[in-house]
Structure 1
């Protein structure tokens, strides 16, 4: 049995704004690629019947609104990002529906916490 040791103060499923600020990232995609590349890992075909039609990358949500596939992270500037969180397939399917076989990447900005 392998033992996984986490770095102190670092969660493997969350990238905090403070980490992003210390990186050389220009957008959310760069931040994920540099700090938690496993978020972007392909999950392989999800159906034997129509493997080309199945989603193999996580769905991106920006402030709890569906935004697109992982390539859309390039359109999100790092300014204002509070956290980027990977949500596994089971949790994503319970929260947003069955079309999340590869999970989801949730980007939260300061705008999500402001009340109009």
Structure 2
């Protein structure tokens, strides 16, 4: 007996399915957010991102978390997320300091947040 399985290869786009990954958000996650900025979403859905990106007062030379948008450096500091409208965002991902250094290079002692915007 021979069994054959067929698949049309239809997969949901990552932006369409809510993410349960602690380091990842999709546009589908934003439906339940009260407020209109990425900071609002992070504060409500992934508050650990804010805790992880706080500067240590014992290390005064420590830089802020770095934000990247569509592959380019956007700014530094978690408050930079207050300027990003949820309606424009497809996904957001937090990278630990080690992951951020591997992906973006040195200079990420508090990690990085990568934002991918919706296609126009």
Asked if Structure 1 and Structure 2 have the same fold, meaning a TM-score greater than 0.5 normalized by the shorter chain, the answer is yes
Aligned to 1:3: none
Q: CA deviation at 1:58?
A: 1.7
1:25 aligns with 2:32: no
Specify the SS of the correspondent of 1:86: strand
Which consecutive unaligned segments of at least 5 residues does structure 1 have?
1-8
Partners of 2:33 and 2:40 within 8 A in 1: no
Which consecutive unaligned segments of at least 5 residues does structure 2 have?
1-18
TM-score, normalised by the number of residues in structure 1: 0.76
Q: Give runs of aligned pairs for residues 77-88 of structure 1, distance below 5 A.
A: 77-88=85-96
Partners in 2 of 1:95 and 1:62 — Cα distance? 14
Poorly superposed stretches of 4+, deviation over 2 Å: none
Partners of 1:29 and 1:73 within 8 A in 2: yes
Q: Give runs of aligned pairs for residues 67-82 of structure 1, distance below 5 A.
A: 67-69=74-76, 70-82=78-90
TM-score, normalised by the number of residues in structure 2: 0.73
1:44 aligns with 2:56: yes
1:10 aligns with 2:20: yes
Let me know the Cα RMSD of the aligned residues.
1.8
Specify the SS of the correspondent of 2:86: coil
Partners of 1:25 and 1:34 within 8 A in 2: no
